[in-house]
Amino acid sequence: MADVKLNNIKKSYDKTEVLHGIDLDIKHGEFVVLVGASGCGKSTLLRMIAGLEDITSGDLEIAGSQVNNLPPAKRGIAMVFQSYALYPHMNVLKNMSYGLKIAGKGKDFIQEKVVNAAKILHIDHLLDRLPRELSGGQRQRVAIGRAIVRDPNVFLFDEPLSNLDAALRVQTRVEIGKLHQELGATIIYVTHDQVEAMTLGDKIVVMNEGRVEQYGSPLELYQHPTTKYVAGFIGSPQMNFLNGRITSIQSDHVELKLSNGTTTNAYVDASEHSVGDEITLGIRPEHLNEGNGEETALSGEVTLVEQLGEASYIYMRLNDDSEIIVRASGESTTTIGERINICFNAHSAHVFNSEDRALRRLKAGNVKSTAELAHLKAVGSRN
């Protein structure tokens, strides 16, 4: 079993601390995605788990033993780099078998391992090619193959899809997901792409400025972000934020007055707050609709329309100059300069206090447990 435990892991370069005490508990077989804006420390954390960066303080355990001071090869990890890092002067076969050869494994054993891995990744016809004769996607697969043959406890992926073009990225993403099902290995995956994070991860770790903002399943993060940062990071386009105040607190909801004068309800637990407190209302673009059909309506002027076909993103400015984005239907005929009404259901509203922490939502989201999700995924892959 290859659980990975991080206990108050810190990293400083000279006197600048870049990771301020990371605690994570990753169970065997989990696919954990580290996301965050660039410079948040996610790659550094991954490299520390790999053993390529020193751990300044804290405990790192892999499979039950402390590995802080072990070299990368002794940790039972395999890493896939963003730039693939294939040995340019060795062919695919040698690239994949080099680690095993160094480990002193027998020829037949190596051959079998490599051929098996190559079959899984559909690169068995490329074994005698040099990396420079391969396309980006093939190189990426060779890099993954090199990781597979080592039978690691933990796979580490450092933004493996960033160098691929859009179509290939989606395809490889699906393949990595399937691979995880097939191998059942623990995977830690760094990306800045939240679609990759949402689709691949059993758990997502959102990092910000060297801290873990939130750690949970993709839907948990989407439906119950605990901070404004996570709310803004997960979901695309970004969640809209509107300033306001609490005007009344009820047992299952609060009444709010927004800075543009609109009043609305929000179904959150405000027991620790009082009337008059400043708050930020968060509402996702996909929960806003054109028209007046729902509880709360806002109106404003359209400043830009992006038509994607399946949906149109309407950028609009409200009376108090706050900007919001609406994900309207693809058939919307709204044009720039128009004044329109939009509305949303109070159940889909998020509320953040003045410290940017979320108030617990009481009536939103039927988050499935991790076990349920895993079951659904398994069913999905069988079909």
Site for other proteins, rule CB under 8 A: 50-52, 71-74, 77-79, 81-89, 98-99, 102-103, 131-132, 136, 139, 146, 150, 163
Judged by CB, which is closer to other proteins: 41, or 235? 41
Judged by CB, which is closer to other proteins: 73, or 304? 73
Judged by CB, which is closer to other proteins: 77, or 117? 77
**Shortest approach of other proteins to residue 60 CB, angstroms?**
16
Tell me how far apart the alpha carbons of residues 43 and 35 are, in angstroms, rounded to a whole number: 9
**Shortest approach of other proteins to residue 158 CB, angstroms?**
9
Judged by CB, which is closer to other proteins: 102, or 371? 102
**Shortest approach of other proteins to residue 360 CB, angstroms?**
42
**Shortest approach of other proteins to residue 98 CB, angstroms?**
6
Do the beta carbons of residue 346 and residue 295 sit within 8 Å?
Answer: yes
**Shortest approach of other proteins to residue 323 CB, angstroms?**
40
Judged by CB, which is closer to other proteins: 99, or 232? 99
Judged by CB, which is closer to other proteins: 125, or 132? 132
Judged by CB, which is closer to other proteins: 75, or 228? 75
Backbone dihedral angles phi then psi of residue 106, each to the nearest 5 degrees? -70, 160
**Shortest approach of other proteins to residue 264 CB, angstroms?**
51
Distance, C-alpha 346 to centroid of its chain: 27
**Shortest approach of other proteins to residue 89 CB, angstroms?**
4
